[in-house]
Amino acid sequence: MSELSAATRSRVAILGAGSRGAGAYGSYILRRPDLAQVVAIADPRPDRLAAAGAQHGVPAGNLYASWERLIAEERALDAIIIATPDTMHLAPALAAIARGIAILLEKPISLTEPEVRHLLAAADRTGADVTVAHVLRYTAFFARIKELLDRGVIGTLQCVRHTEHIGYWHFAHSYVRGNWRNAATAAPMILAKACHDFDILHWLIGAPCATISSFGRLGHFTAANAPEGSTGRCAEGCAVERTCPYSAHRIYLEKFPPADRWPHAVLSIDTSAEGIAAALHEGPYGRCVYRCDNDVVDHQVLLMHFENGVDATMTVSAFTGEVTRTINLMGSLGEIAGDFNANEITVTDFSLGDRRTSNLSIPGDALHGGGDDGLMADFLGRVQERRRRGGAPEASTSLRASVVSHLMAFAAERARASGQCTGLTM
């Protein structure tokens, strides 16, 4: 690398060396050393901290057990990536705002509406550059749908049907055994999983949501549904382990052979078959899905009315075979139907009686349909422009734009809990 390119690289710190901070965002920086370099990392887990430090060649003196020390001691940062647990987003974001550092903030922004509004007020007051990791806007799939809508290909949009197919095994991984299983320590499922979807709906429809109704419950992953002969852990002699679709051994050792990436990288630093087997024997991901401390809903259905007259439904469900999103946008002159996982978009023209399907070319290993890389390219590009010119355009997923999705999620959860239609105040 030339001296010139090295000098122009942005200096980035990562808070949280897990699958998002070190895995998704850190790996992009490793692939684009012309744009940035990781100069400091914070994580309370020594094993993850050491592994991420070695990946990026960060000296031991710039590896921190706490984000507080990193922000206090690292005085020459251009940007900071906050990928800490959900409960630890607000404080480091406020500290970075006070320092004037550009921020990439993993979703959710924070866990309560007052906290989200407090962070927005702090950013507005200081003019802080805060980008939220709503990666779907940066995918070719949703960008194409947005372009078709803006061109009026289907006339005036009337209604939308959107479904988040979480996937039975993915839900078990994240929301039964994993970090987002319990409302006391994580965001409600509709916020943690579907704030992406609220953001996309708001972006595509182009108007604020006025009212929302919501229904959902924890219907399956409870002790009452535990099969006879099942045990606390899949490896403890469970009589139904070989036929249970949620068997940890079947998911992590057979359906997805161990590899150095998500989901195995969440279970253990050692992602060999032996390392994953040990993690299943000792850690939370080897537990029976019917005997965990989970309490978040496993499905939720919503009805929304937007201020421009568009109505939308959204279903978020654990009980799907594929991990994907499907969407139907129905307009006065046509319809758009899309399958995110297949990268397939079909446009029906009512006037011509024409139906055309296009398949987007996306690398098979691209995270979130290429959205993670798109987000990082945009974020780091704006950080460099800020350094050169003293300012940069606001991100598509700026904090102000992204807050809307969270207010929709909070309203949806209030509506679900009360059984009543809820209005939104932006």
Place of tokens 């994993």: 178
Helices (H), 151-272: 168-171, 189-192, 195-205, 248-249, 264-267
Q: DSSP E strands: which ranges in 24-90?
A: 36-42, 63-64, 79-82
Q: Which residues of the chain have pLDDT under 70?
A: 1-7, 362-367
Tell me the domain boundaries of the chain.
3-135+370-398, 223-286
Fold designation for 3-135+370-398: Rossmann fold (3.40.50)
Tell me the per-residue pLDDT of 348-364, one tens digit each, with 9 for 90 and over.
999 998 999 988 876 65
Confirm if 286 and 235 have CB atoms less than 8 A apart. yes
What's residue 364's pLDDT?
54
| Measured distance CA(215)–CA(270) in Å, rounded | 40
| Measured distance CA(68)–CA(117) in Å, rounded | 22
| Measured distance CA(336)–CA(357) in Å, rounded | 10
DSSP-derived 3-state class of residue 36: strand
What's residue 387's pLDDT?
86
Place of tokens 């950080």: 383
What's residue 1's pLDDT?
45
What's residue 363's pLDDT?
60
Tell me the per-residue pLDDT of 293-349, one tens digit each, with 9 for 90 and over.
999 999 999 999 999 999 999 999 999 999 999 999 999 999 999 999 999 999 999
Contacts (Cβ under 8 Å, ≥6 apart) of 106? 16, 20, 21, 81, 82, 83, 84, 89, 133
pTM value surpassing 0.85: yes
Max distance between CA atoms of the chain, in angstroms, equals: 66
What's residue 348's pLDDT?
97
| Measured distance CA(180)–CA(19) in Å, rounded | 14
Helices (H), 155-194: 168-171, 189-192
